[in-house]
Chains A and B, each alone.
Chain A
Amino acid sequence: MIHVPEDMTVTVDASVALDALQDMLAKSRQWLPLDPPDSSMPLRAILEHNESGPHRIGYGTVRDYVIGLKVTLADGRVVKSGGQVVKNVAGYDLQKLFIGSRGTLGTIREVTFKLRPLPELAQFIQQHCVSLEAAGMLIEKIVESELTPIVFDLHRLPERGLQPGPTSDTKLVSLPLTIVLGFDGTKEDVDWQLALAAKLGFQQPATLDYDREFRTKAGSLQKFSVLPSKQIESLRSLGNEPFVARAGNGIIYHRAYIPMPPQNPPIQLLRRTKDAFDPTHLLPELPA
């Protein structure tokens, strides 16, 4: 691992776990601003699945932090793209192609990230809402306010320790709806935002444990990605199912059996990409 704190970059083997990397970076008060539900996963898995967590609204996804990659192609050749510097447009941006490719185009060996300083202070707060409509209205108020949250989630989860029984699940009239906000930066910035959030009713301290607890549970996790202004509509279609939503991004994680809203990806180009990088289809196929 090569970490140059004054450059705010790190080059690391893709088999290293994210939490091990974060521990090392924290010694220099830096971090990779990424908080997927399972931080014990190796970086390779996080990159190949483009994993992210509640900090996504404030810091973006891992695509925004990868500045160089070393990849083993299907034919065994090891190639690099990008480099070690934070700004670089030499050659095509192959990093973007491999991130989220689920190992179907090659195997990520080594990665170089740009980093961020650990904030002086980070605080998380929450507020409960009586209905989706109320949550929707509060979300709009937050969007229109001068708040710049680094976490902006809405979730509806069974109370902790209160597992819904097999029969009662759908009969639960309503699980509690909660909006979670996070602020970080200088102490002055955070205090100012907490005061503003308090005026919107956010008083109760929160943790982000719900994201890991919900998303790493057994059973297949579904995802909707919708226009943020339309997410309440999509959430309504879930009935009383539990969910965690990135309210700032319009990303909804749930386990209901509801078809994803159809997308219209450029199928031919996607196929040609697979064929160009893996002509004999040695590597896994991209799931439909």
Chain B
Amino acid sequence: MASVLTPAQQSELSQQLRALLGPDAVVDRPDELLVYECDAYTLEKNPPNAVVLPRSTEQISQVVKLCAKLNVPIIPRGAGTSLSGSLLAVTGGVVISLARMNRVLSVDVRNRRALVEAGCVNAWITNAVKSHGLLYAPDPSSQPACTIGGNVAMNSGGPHTLKYGVTTDHVLGFEMVLPDGEVVWLGTTPDGGEDVDGYDLRGAAIGCEGMFGVITRVLVRLIRAPQGYKTLLGVFETVDDASQTVSDIIAAGIVPGAMEMMDQLITQAIEAAYKFGFPLDAGAVLIVELDGLAAGLERQAQRVIEICRQNKAREVRVAKSEQERADLWKCRKRAFGAIGRLSPNFLTQDGVVPRSKLPEIMRFIRCCSEKYGLRIPNVFHAGDGNIHPLILYDERDPEQVREAVQAGNDILEKCIALGGSVTGEHGIGVEKMDLMSKQFTKDDLDAMQMLRRVFDPDHRCNPHKMFPGSKRCSDFAPRKQAAA
């Protein structure tokens, strides 16, 4: 089942979209639509009725008005890197791709702001401003591909959010086409002051998972690039020792730019793929990056080395050059890509626990791995307590698929039980909808629906996401089995 439209409606939709945007901006051949049947969460798939590739806010507004008239769902889409199925066309609809709206429109060096189109790739912003000594701080691992519009929709994080915060802390304002076609600007305007009258609808809409409208232009905050970095690599015998080191660094009053952990399995895979020189026999490696003014870095680094040694680190390496630092981060950020060497498929979770509960959740993940007989490597934002267990499975084996989904659920329920959350940065999407009722009460969810109604009273914008009990793709079997 591809859509809820009759063939006559489908043909009318296609014709009218072409009339609005021209033939080169509409994709509706079934084979071409397969590209858009899922995002980076591949357990559920369904193609949309059509994909449009507009070039302006005005065009998007026209498409959205047409879809409102025809009562067709709209699904805004950036680079399609979402890991939670937040771009899935559950009941079909029109995908509005921002791929052709990808420019950096202006950079205001003095006021440290940049205005970009929503389809602009995250990394391009920093590339455009680094000659001025500035950068855009949120750095999801997918930053060479993911778009700023997608980042705003998902409130994306990344390794350096430990010190610098997530997307909402760095987006001053944005333009959005509401589900009725109206164009609004939320938050600080490009030439306005940072404080805005009225409710913080900017903040309330960041992380809406594309359910409030189509983000078209974004005003981001730029920060000064740190004067210096000290990037350390601690090598530990056990994950417990590395986890304790994380807690001790925080307790010592040190706020590193990032603190990332990789366990043995993922370290071996990364080493095989990228040949950085990671030890293959260590239980865990911890990347600690300090940044800021050069003056104070050395003493802080010494303190971190001391804390690593107190926790039985076998070795602490310090990146000797900018190249070595860049290589280390490249390995970390491409960790998911190295998984292909271990397994045909993986399911990643991004639950969060209070930092002090890291050793406990890591032990639980090991138990899950044994219980289901599935390998679960871990690479994660340890400083934030944000885990990323990568549950390895083979989709050709339905039993493994079922167990992978179940293992993921077990881990996330444990995160909730430890006072945490089911998602730190990937979002709920379709993947984790049913867990929402475990983390929130019905009243909590009702309050969220109140906010949704403000933006999308007809539930036509990226529907069937986030809220438990939403409609699923008709061919989605594994989770039904898992829930049984």
Contact = CB atoms under 8 A, between A and B. Distances in A.
Given A77-B446, A270-B201, 16 more contacts: A8-B355, A83-B421, A85-B385, A85-B424, A87-B384, A88-B352, A89-B423, A99-B203, A148-B293, A192-B293, A224-B193, A227-B111, A227-B191, A265-B196, A269-B455, A276-B450
Contacts of A174: none
B447 A99 contact: no
Contacts of A220: none
B427 A89 contact: yes
Contacts of B353: 85
Interface stretch (A18-26, A128-136, A183-191, A209-217): A183-191
A90 B428 contact: yes
A79 B439 CA distance: 12
Contacts of A92: 204, 207-208, 448, 451-452
Contacts of A83: 419-421, 439
Interface in B411-468: 419-428, 432, 436, 439-441, 443-448, 450-455, 466
28 contacts: A6-B247, A6-B355, A7-B385, A63-B200, A79-B446, A83-B439, A84-B354, A85-B420, A87-B381, A89-B157, A90-B432, A91-B440, A91-B444, A91-B448, A93-B155, A94-B447, A94-B448, A96-B202, A97-B200, A97-B204, A100-B200, A188-B293, A189-B295, A225-B194, A251-B194, A251-B195, A265-B197, A270-B199
A177 interface: no
Contact of A89 (B169, B255, B424): B424
B326 interface: no
**6 tightest A-B CB contacts, nearest first:** A96-B203, A225-B193, A186-B296, A117-B253, A225-B195, A192-B295
Nearest to B133: A146
B224 interface: yes
A136 B254 CA distance: 35
A80 interface: yes
B299 interface: yes
Interface residues of B, number: 86
B423 A229 contact: no
Interface stretch (B9-17, B119-127, B160-168, B231-239): B160-168
Nearest to A119: B253
Nearest to B426: A89
A189 B292 contact: yes
Given A89-B427, A229-B110, A250 B207 contact: no
In this complex, the member of B155, B196, B203, B447 whose beta carbon has the largest number of chain A beta carbons within 10 angstroms is: B447
B444 to A, nearest CB: 5
A141 to B, nearest CB: 13
A84 B300 CA distance: 28
A143 interface: yes
Nearest to A99: B200
A41 interface: no
Interface string B164-205: 011011000000001000101110010111111111111110
Contacts of A30: 253
B343 interface: no
B198 A265 contact: yes
Contacts of A264: 185, 189
B224 A148 contact: yes
Interface of B: 110-111, 154-155, 157, 161, 165-166, 168-169, 178, 182, 184-186, 189, 191-204, 206-208, 224, 227, 247, 250-251, 253-255, 292-296, 298-300, 352-356, 381, 384-386, 419-428, 432, 436, 439-441, 443-448, 450-455, 466
Contact-size category for A: 35 or more
Interface of A: 4-9, 29-30, 60, 63-64, 71, 73, 77-81, 83-97, 99-101, 105, 116-118, 120, 143, 146, 148, 185-189, 191-193, 223-229, 249-251, 261, 263-266, 268-270, 272-273, 276-277, 286
A86 B197 CA distance: 27
Nearest to B110: A229
Contact of A276 (B195, B295, B453): B453
B165 to A, nearest CB: 6
B111 A228 contact: yes
A104 B270 CA distance: 52
B199 A97 contact: yes
Contacts of A273: 199, 201, 451, 454
Contacts of A286: 198-199
